[in-house]
Chains A and B, each alone.
Chain A
Amino acid sequence: MIRYILILGLILGLFFPSIALSQEKSTISGYIKDGETGEELIGATVFVKELGTGTVTNVYGFFSLTLPNGSYNLKFSYVGFQDVEKQIDLTENTKFDIELPTNSKVLEEVVITGEQADANVKNVEMSVNKMEISTIKKIPALMGEVDVIRSVQLLPGVSTVGEGASGFNVRGGGVDQNLILLDEAPVYNSSHLFGFFSVFNPDAVKNVKLIKGGIPAQYGGRLSSILDVRMKEGNQKKFAGSGGLGLIFSRLTLEGPIKKDKASFVIAGRRSYADVLARPFLNDDLSDSKFFFYDLTAKVNYKLNDKNRFFLSGYLGKDVFGTGDFQFDWGNQTASARWNHIFNDKVFMNMTAIYSKYDYEFGVGDNQDGFNWQSNVINYSLKPEFTYYINPKNTLTFGAQTILFDFKPGNASFNSGGDANDISLEDQKAAESAIFVANEQKIGPRIALQYGLRYSIYQYLGEGNAYTLNDTTPGVERTVVSSQRYDQWETVEQYANFEPRLAIKYELTETSSIKASYNRMAQYLHLLSNTAASTPIDVWSPSTNNVKPQIADQYALGYFRNFKESTFETSVEVYYKDFQNQVEYINNADLILNEFYETQLLFGDGRAYGAEFYIKKAKGDFTGWISYTLARTERQVDGINRSEWFPTRFDRTHNLSVVASYQVNPRWSFSANFVYSTGTPGTFPTNRFNIQGWVAPHNSEERRNNYRIPDFHRLDVSATLSPKEKENRKWFGEWVFSVYNAYNRRNAFSVYFQENPDIPQNTEAIRLAIVGNFVPSVAYNFKF
Chain B
Amino acid sequence: MKMPFQNLRTIWVMVGCVLLGPAITSCEDPIDVDLDEGTVQLAVDAFLTDESGEKRIVLTETTPYFDNTTQRFADGATVRITDDLGKVYDFQAAPEGQGNYIWEPDTADTNFGEVGRTYTLSVTHNGNTFEASSTVNPVPTLDSVTVEFREEEFGEEEGYYATFFAFDLPNREDYYWIRTYRNGVFFDDPTAINVSVDGAFGSNGADGFLFIIPIREFLINDDSDPYKLGDEVRVELWAITEPTWSFLGELASQLTNNGLFATPAANIRTNIVNADPNSDVKAVGWFSVSAVSSGTAIAGQ
Contact = CB atoms under 8 A, between A and B. Distances in A.
B210 A417 contact: yes
A286 B19 CA distance: 12
A285 B151 CA distance: 11
Nearest to A767: B31
A694 B285 CA distance: 11
Interface stretch (B10-18, B84-92, B292-300): B10-18
Of all A-B residue pairs in the complex, the 5 with the closest CB atoms, nearest first, are A700-B38, A686-B38, A772-B27, A587-B266, A689-B43
A691 B251 contact: yes
Contact of A694 (B20, B28, B35, B255): B255
A241 interface: no
A193 B3 CA distance: 20
A278 B254 CA distance: 36
Interface stretch (A57-65, A78-86, A757-765): A757-765
A165 interface: yes
Given A688-B62, A691-B43, A699 B32 contact: no
A687 interface: yes
A751 B265 CA distance: 11
Interface of A: 143, 164-165, 193-194, 247, 272, 274-275, 278, 285-286, 289, 291, 321, 323-324, 326, 328, 362, 364-365, 369, 371, 373, 414, 416-417, 419, 421-423, 530-533, 535, 537, 585, 587-590, 592-595, 649, 682-694, 696-702, 704-705, 707, 710, 746, 748-755, 760-773, 775-777
16 contacts: A143-B24, A285-B153, A286-B18, A321-B14, A371-B212, A531-B262, A532-B260, A593-B204, A688-B67, A689-B43, A691-B286, A692-B45, A699-B267, A701-B38, A701-B39, A750-B259
Contact of A767 (B25, B30, B41): B30
B157 to A, nearest CB: 13
B19 A275 contact: yes
A326 B7 contact: yes
A753 B199 CA distance: 30
Interface in B225-282: 246, 249-251, 253-269
Contacts of B255: 694, 696, 754-755
B232 to A, nearest CB: 19
A369 B213 contact: yes
A759 to B, nearest CB: 8
Nearest to B42: A689
B190 A533 contact: no
Given A414-B200, A423-B204, A768-B28, A751 B213 contact: no
B268 A698 contact: yes
B266 to A, nearest CB: 4
Contacts of A535: 8, 260-261
Nearest to A371: B3
Contact of A365 (B37, B58, B213, B257): B213
Given A321-B11, A421-B209, A769-B28, A143 B23 contact: yes
Contacts of B260: 164-165, 194, 531-533, 535, 749-750, 768, 770
B95 interface: no
Contacts of A702: 267
A286 B266 CA distance: 37
B64 interface: yes
Contact of A530 (B41, B250, B264): B264
B205 A421 contact: yes
B36 interface: yes
B81 interface: no
Contacts of A362: 4, 7
A700 B281 CA distance: 11
